[in-house]
Amino acid sequence: MEEDCYEYSYYSHTESPDGSNCDTGDGEVPILLPPGADDWEQDICESESFIGNDCVQGIWEIMKQNNVAFNNLGSFLGERPIAELCLDIQNLNDPTRDVQANGNTALSGSTIKAKVTITLNSQSLNRSKLGIARTILHETVHAELYAMIVEANGKDALEAYIAQNPQKERFQLIWEYINEFPPTTSAAGWQHEFMADYYLTSMVESMRELSSDLVSDSYKNYIAVDSIVYPLNGDAFPWNWNDFYIALSWVGLKKTTEWDKLSDDLKSKYDAYTRQYEELEVLSAKCS
Ligand SMILES: [Zn+2]
């Protein structure tokens, strides 16, 4: 859901569901870290409720070990971050709405001291750990896009900022998305359209990396024996792990024009993957 208001008092994005440390101890190939990746997580603050949730802490730990959020958060890291980033867990349920948010990202403070907060919905943690990791990653992209708006001194100043900084091509790109997908005509909002076009591939890779730790052995064994997906409508089809990661990556982006372009058959397959996984994953691989 997009509220197209970039005043610095409060801005919030809500995600609805339809919407290395070179550890070579196991003989694995070392992952080459981007510069500055060491201890990057120390630049991110965590609320008491975030620290106090062991299950979410476990997920965040795996995400940090895999450096999957690092590349999304350049504006918050290093010696001169654009804004502060905090992670929180709160009850985000809105009794006036049917759809329960998985999380949201909100901007507060001033341009000089901006703060972006990613909040997970405490009422929406009864999901797979991999699904919760996906929500966190999804929100980190929102956070980074908000930080770009902060860097430009607000959306109204973006055009001038682009003129002054023509080498920062990414700002030109988001300006095009803001204009192409205004809230009056875009159900998904420009940020989700941007995500579907530019972040889907990295999300798929992140899901692949995280699955080795976050998908239970029970589920992997189950798929090894009965590798079939059963959609609500249509024929059952063979499980394919890559398609599963793609299916997960689309969650939260299903109002975008890119999702609309997929065939009904493919949409139904992706829906079947995520539904089956959430239904059959064991409780120990979920939070509550
Ligand atoms: Zn979103």
Ligand 1 centroid–CA 42 distance in Å is 24
Better-predicted residue by pLDDT, 267 or 232? 267
For the cut 60, the answer to whether the pLDDT of residue 58 exceeds it is yes
Ligand 1 centroid–CA 20 distance in Å is 27
Strands 84-90 and 103-109: unpaired
CA 207, CA 249: separation in Å to the nearest integer?
8
For the cut 70, the answer to whether the pLDDT of residue 273 exceeds it is yes
Ligand 1 centroid–CA 102 distance in Å is 9
Determine contact, residues 120/136, Cβ cutoff 8 Å. yes
Ligand 1 centroid–CA 10 distance in Å is 17
Ligand 1 centroid–CA 202 distance in Å is 16
CA 105, CA 50: separation in Å to the nearest integer?
14
**How confident is the model over 1-55, as pLDDT tens digits?**
332 222 222 345 566 555 422 233 344 444 455 555 566 667 789 999 999 999 9
Written as one letter, the residue type at 234 is: G
Ligand 1 centroid–CA 116 distance in Å is 14
**How confident is the model over 66-96, as pLDDT tens digits?**
988 887 887 887 777 888 899 999 999 988 8
Ligand 1 centroid–CA 15 distance in Å is 4
Ligand 1 centroid–CA 264 distance in Å is 22
- How is residue 168 annotated by DSSP? -
Ligand 1 centroid–CA 136 distance in Å is 10
Ligand 1 centroid–CA 71 distance in Å is 17
